[in-house]
Amino acid sequence: MNQVFRFAPSPTGLLHVGNARVALINWLFSESVGGSFVLRIDDTDSERSTPEFESAIQRDLEWLGLEWSTVIHQSARFDLYERAAEYLKESGRLYACYETPEELEMKRRLLLSRGHPPTYDQEGLGLTESQKAEFESEGRKPYWRFKLVPENIEWDDLVRGQCHYNGAHISDPVLIRADGSYLYQLPSVVDDIDLGVTHIVRGEDHVTNTAAQLQIMHALSGSTVDRLAHLPLLTDASGKGLSKRIGSVSLADLQEDGFEAMAIASLLAKLGSSEAIEAHGSMDELVNDFEISRYSRGSPKFDPSELEFINAKVLHLTSFWQIRERLEKLGIVRQDLDLRGEEFWEAVKPNLKKLHEAPSWWAVCSEAIRPVIEDEDTTFLAEAAKLLPDEPWDSHTWVHWTGALKEYTGRKGKTLYLPLRRALTGLSDGPELKYLLPLIGRERAERRLAGLAA
């Protein structure tokens, strides 16, 4: 039996990291069991859904490394939803209601004041045809609720464990608004049935929805999805919930800020699980290590500082041949990369936090820079220039050269190494000079030690 997973974003905004985590976990789960991953675009809200947001969502998911077997648009499937609605009406499970929002709010407040849960009283079920006609003569249009059966609704959640609800304690959900538009519930269930979805993995804010949807699904098809997982919602570092509507960090923001897709995937895949968060070099590694049972009910926190640490580690794991094209796009020309690109990358990557920092180190090695020389170091650096060995240079040159300098001048430690670094790179810290020095070359090094731009 094919195992089918789905991710269902609404194209009403950019994809934030909370939703990206749900998409990633669905994809990893699917890949780990050889299943199919469906991208369902929930675009029934025609006023807020836009093609631009849909394109951005798909682009962000692809950048993250996710692929899907099928993409569907709910806006193209209204005929399926209409047939399902008519079937539920004919079977007595979908009934018309006429209360105004103000009347519903009054009922809710009254129940709460009496200490009762604010569940709908099913008034619409008892309306006669003449009462309905009278409401409609007043200009009211019906909205439609699904009649829940007052019985236990149970499932063994893959994250939350045993979940128990009773239809008698849940308000009959509204499936169709008075203007004829569909709420989330009915289209989602119809699509899950039609696409043969076997696993539903989503946020814990859908738990109550799930209880009602299982009854809707059974009423339409006679069966339900029994592989359900509800993940705790991701929060920011302070514990505040994430939402695209309040401007929480989006994947597009993170990409623009220079974060690696693999760093984001490495972090999001492990947040909320019992696994250590560490950098991974490929999506295959994450797939091979995936277990849905490792996720807990605790709310995971998305901390940008943690992402920065993982991002650096991902770059450290990246080979030159994996990054070569991107270095070229950053302005390091092909011919130069062909000559010494791999040597350069291995030298600087341990010091990179983000890839866009690499060109500045390429400039240190290949372009004219202004050396930093303190007055008291001028004589020392002149002596250092005289002791520069002949080329060719390799990673041992630095050790031999500084050893000779130490013996000749008596300098050691910071007083020996810091003036050399400042003169050779114009900076006080950076990659190991035993790797940078051969890239800088003797001619450029000699000029810099003399205080000349080179």
For residue 245, name the pLDDT band (cuts at 50, 70, 90): very low
Side-chain half-sphere CA neighbours of 284 within 13 A: 0
pLDDT at residue 244 greater than cutoff 70: no
**Across residues 2-20, what is the average pLDDT?**
95
Phi, psi of 164 (to 5 degrees): -130, 125
Same domain flag for 17 and 85: no
* One domain for residues 199 and 295: yes
Residue 349 CA to residue 315 CA, distance in Å, equals 6
Whether 181 is in a domain gets the answer no
392-413: pLDDT as tens digits: 999 999 999 999 999 999 999 9
18, 56, 287, 294 from 302: Cα distances, Å: 9, 22, 21, 18
Q: Are residues 291 and 405 in the same domain?
A: no
How far lies 430's CA from each of 230, 284, 369, 378, in Å?
Answer: 45, 32, 15, 22
Return the CATH number at 208: 3.40.50.620
Domain end point (choices 109, 144, 176)? 176
Q: Which of 123, 152, 176 is the last residue of a domain?
A: 176
Task: Indicate the burial class of 281 (C-beta count within 10 angstroms; 0-12, 13-18, 19 or more).
Answer: middle
CB 9, CB 48: distance < 8 Å: no
In the predicted model, is pLDDT for residue 240 greater than 80? no
Per-residue pLDDT of 131-165, as tens digits, reads: 999 999 999 999 999 999 999 999 999 999 999 99
* Digit-coded pLDDT (tens) for 102-126: 999 999 999 999 999 999 999 999 9
Hunting for tokens 């789960």 — which residue is that?
29
Domain of residue 339 covers 320-358
How sure is the predictor about 248, in pLDDT bands with cuts at 50, 70 and 90?
Answer: low
